[in-house]
Amino acid sequence: MSKRQRIRRYVLAATAVAVAATAGAALASPAAATAPAAVTSDLDDDGYADLAAGVRDATVDGSTKAGYVNVVRGGPEGLGAYGNTRISQARPGIPGVPEQGDRFGAAVAVADMDHDGRDDLVAGAPGEAIGSRAKGGAATLLLGGPNGLVGRYGEGHSVAYQQDTPRVPGVAEAGDAFGAAVTTGDYDHDGTPDVAVGSPGENGSSGGVRVLPSASVDGSCTITPARLVLASPTSALTYGKTLSSH
């Protein structure tokens, strides 16, 4: 498939990345006495859904509104009885450091990106400064494993994206708020989830969405109001402020 055809497919699929509602996390139906056959937010492959909650305004290591993600493990008795883990940029293996206003965890989404049977998590940090550009924003993919989103020694395994990352469309600018919304979906039906990241502050708050096929920068593209020929594409639509895919 040519790059032009792939971009056209993503544009046509943009209705699935609708500016609809969610910056939350997936939660399975109430747990039965035995583990369910399949769940959609199992970060540690124990057969039970886990809950990932963004705490974007939390103070981390003295930095106000640095933010973190709280992962609550599921089990036979549901949530709350099996511990929880705090994931922030203070943890080894997570790119960046906690800084005032980063708002890491402002948006979260889960999907099994690497087909290892464990769901992975994407966390947005729209307040992240990119160099001297305040609130340029970033998103981080955290890989799930036997211990959830942290390794044997408490470390994270992750990769960060922002608009200065090579092959990610656009350029990081102050106020873009890349990572204000994140979601996942198999938009090209190749069997591997793709990642969509909203940047509602882009182009004077007209907004946009970056699509990362299979969570990769290769073949990534941008969905904007102008490309979709929406009314008043240069006005402050804040397109991509919220995202949802099902």
**Complete edge-to-edge strand list for the sheet that includes strand 221-223:** 181-185, 194-198, 209-212, 221-223
> What is the average pLDDT across 189-193?
94
Residues 105, 57: Cα–Cα separation, whole Å? 9
Residues 60, 26: Cα–Cα separation, whole Å? 24
Backbone dihedral angles phi then psi of residue 111, each to the nearest 5 degrees: -175, 155
Under 8 Å between Cβ of 143 and 113: yes
SS3 83: coil
Quote the DSSP letter at residue 13. G
31 band by pLDDT with thresholds 50, 70 and 90: very low
Amino acid at 29: S
pLDDT tens per residue across span 136-173: 999 999 998 888 888 887 888 999 999 999 999 999 99
**Angle ∠(62,141,89) on CA atoms, nearest 5:** 15
